[in-house]
């Protein structure tokens, strides 16, 4: 299994879980080999299509899970998202290997109460990340129709290194208040749930679009407070509830009906259930 972005918020736990499940993991990264949790570290610039194709043809992985490149990936992230999608799709097609690529709920503008896989994808105006991910989706499925594009939402964990938690802890350490939106509703998913789902899907033939998110819509405020409470920070002291600025999608709720039909062994856990499992693991 080749995992791109193996040094990232999803790729790190995914690599560890895949290795624990018996997969031979090739852990792709660009800049942070010290963040690789499991597998064989493999430096690869996904913007270089020729290098990606040559690497995949040489390595011949059974599965590629493309989790690299987010809005936190630097100033050129949007173009990198597009280039990486083309490189990975071309390489997977050339090697005839299973491809699963991660996308986001931000391909929608938040004007509908619920979005299923048939809904028209249209990012909010000015949402460069959503636009880049939508372009990447289209490239992936055009070049390699056998690919599976998994749209997900806020990927959280109770580990201080997780991106959803780390930025809040940095703000607190600097004496700043944490400003959290009370009116943006999304369906956050525990990183270990998403990793389990992706590994299950690696052994399936599902293709096209699939929404895998948490089962309960919650506000960014609710999510942030729950994460801080889990690591012993009092939201009443550190959090300021605020309204989202104009242009931010207010309601991004993805239907999981197709996911529940496809997934046989992976339950989609609520925020409370995820915390209970995390605490049980630590006990």
Domains in the chain, CATH or no CATH each = 2-155+190-213+253-269 (3.40.50.720)
How far does Cα 147 stand from its chain's mean position? 16
The SS3 of residue 149 is strand
pLDDT tens, per residue, the chain with 283 residues: 999 999 999 999 999 999 999 999 999 999 899 999 999 999 999 999 999 999 999 999 999 999 997 766 666 889 999 999 999 999 999 999 999 999 999 999 999 999 999 999 999 998 999 999 999 999 999 999 999 999 999 999 999 999 999 999 999 999 999 999 999 999 999 999 999 999 999 999 999 999 999 999 999 999 999 999 999 999 999 999 999 998 899 999 999 999 999 999 999 999 999 999 999 988 7
Task: Write the DSSP string, 211-278.
Answer: E---SS-EEHHHHHHHHHHHTT--HHHHEEEEPPPTTS-SB--B--HHHHHH-SS-----HHHHHHHH
**Nearest of 13, 6, 35, 146 to residue 89 by alpha carbon:** 146
266 contact partners, CB below 8 Å, separation of at least 6: 193, 196, 197, 200
**Nearest of 122, 115, 121, 55 to residue 90 by alpha carbon:** 55
* Tokens describing residue 194: 């998403």
Q: What is the pTM of this model?
A: 0.96
How far does Cα 217 stand from its chain's mean position? 17
């Amino acid at each position: 299994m080749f995992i791109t972005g193996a040094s990232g918020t999803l790729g790190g736990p995914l690599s560890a879980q895949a290795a624990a499940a018996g997969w031979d993991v090739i852990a792709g990264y660009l800049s942070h080999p010290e963040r690789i949790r499991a597998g064989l570290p493999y430096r690869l610039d996904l913007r270089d299509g020729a290098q990606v194709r040559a690497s995949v043809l040489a390595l011949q992985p059974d599965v590629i899970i493309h989790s690299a490149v987010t809005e936190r990936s630097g100033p050129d992230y949007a173009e990198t998202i597009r280039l990486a999608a083309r490189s990975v799709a071309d390489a997977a097609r050339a090697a005839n290997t299973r491809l699963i690529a991660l996308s986001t709920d931000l391909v929608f503008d938040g004007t509908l109460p619920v979005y299923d896989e048939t809904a028209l994808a249209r990012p909010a105006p000015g949402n460069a990340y959503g636009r880049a991910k939508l372009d990447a989706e289209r490239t992936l499925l055009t070049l390699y129709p056998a690919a599976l594009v998994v749209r997900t939402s806020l990927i959280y964990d109770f580990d201080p290194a997780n991106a959803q938690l780390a930025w809040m802890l940095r703000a607190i350490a600097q004496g700043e208040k944490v400003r959290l939106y009370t009116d943006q509703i999304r369906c956050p998913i525990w990183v270990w749930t998403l990793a389990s789902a992706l590994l299950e899907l690696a052994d399936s033939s599902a293709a096209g679009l699939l929404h895998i998110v948490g089962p309960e819509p919650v506000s960014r405020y609710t999510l942030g407070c729950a994460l801080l409470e889990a690591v012993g920070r009092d939201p009443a002291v550190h959090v300021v509830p605020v309204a989202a600025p104009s242009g931010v999608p207010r309601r991004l709720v993805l239907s999981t009906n197709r996911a529940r039909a496809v997934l046989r062994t992976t339950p989609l856990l609520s925020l409370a259930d995820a915390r209970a499992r995390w605490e049980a693991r630590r006990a």
